[in-house]
Structure 1
Amino acid sequence: MAVSDHKKDPDAVLDWVWDWNEYLDEGETIVTSEFIVSVGITVDSESNTTKTATVWLSGGTAGQVYQVTNRITSSAGRTDDRSITIRVTER
């Protein structure tokens, strides 16, 4: 997933999906996934499959920018991060 900019209303509870298919080799899977978020935005829940990771986010303050990072470890022992930016704005 390329670093990209997303918008979210402070009252919205939305999901974002990280697709790791291009990074993982054939037969390689996600073993662990964690989400690291800037202070001020809340992780409501997170989950993963063998190739994707999903986070549900709530909160944030209008006018603020937050970084959300997904860190995985693969079945081959590789660890990597992918991040997005969330701009909280009244919508």
Structure 2
Amino acid sequence: MARAAWPSKSPAELLDYGVDWQLRLTAGEAISASTFELPPGLVATRSTFSGSLAQLFIAGGANGELYRILNRVTTTAGRTIEQVIHLGVMSK
């Protein structure tokens, strides 16, 4: 799978980001659990999931850093799937 990246944020922003798993799910399959692993410096204020979408609200980060975030989902078919997403933090 290609490397995924979210649009950058500033250290002061609290923004929501999502991973759409639709292309990796089979017909009728949905997310039954979702976790995000964030490196030190980023703060998850809330995470949710519905259908094929896992969503996370992120605060913090240090200016000029590129962070690696892991989303791990379990599906209604019992599969576990992971995706790494990169997030840059830059002052605006």
CA displacement, residues 51-81 of structure 1 (integer Å, 9 cap, x when unaligned): 1000000001101111111100011111011
1:6 shift after superposition? 3.0
What's the counterpart of residue 10 of structure 1? 11
Other-structure match for 1:68 = 69
Cα-Cα RMSD: 1.4
Identity %: 32
CA distance in 1, matches of 2:8, 2:30: 30
- CA shift for structure 1 position 50: 1.7
TM-score in terms of structure 1 length: 0.92
Shift of 1:5: 5.0
Q: Which runs of 5+ in 2 are unaligned?
A: none
How far, CA to CA, are the matches of 1:17 and 1:5 in structure 2? 9
Per-residue CA deviation, residues 9-32 of structure 1 (Å, 9 max, x unaligned), is 000000111101111100111111
CA contact under 8 A between 2:6 and 2:17: conserved in structure 1? no
- Aligned AA (1:83): V
1:89 maps to which residue?
90
Tell me, which stretches of 5 or more residues in structure 1 are unaligned?
A: none
Query: Is it true that 1:39 corresponds to 2:40 in the alignment?
Result: yes
Matched residue count:
91
Distance in 2 (CA, whole Å) between partners of 1:23 and 1:64 is 29
Length-normalised TM-score, structure 2: 0.91
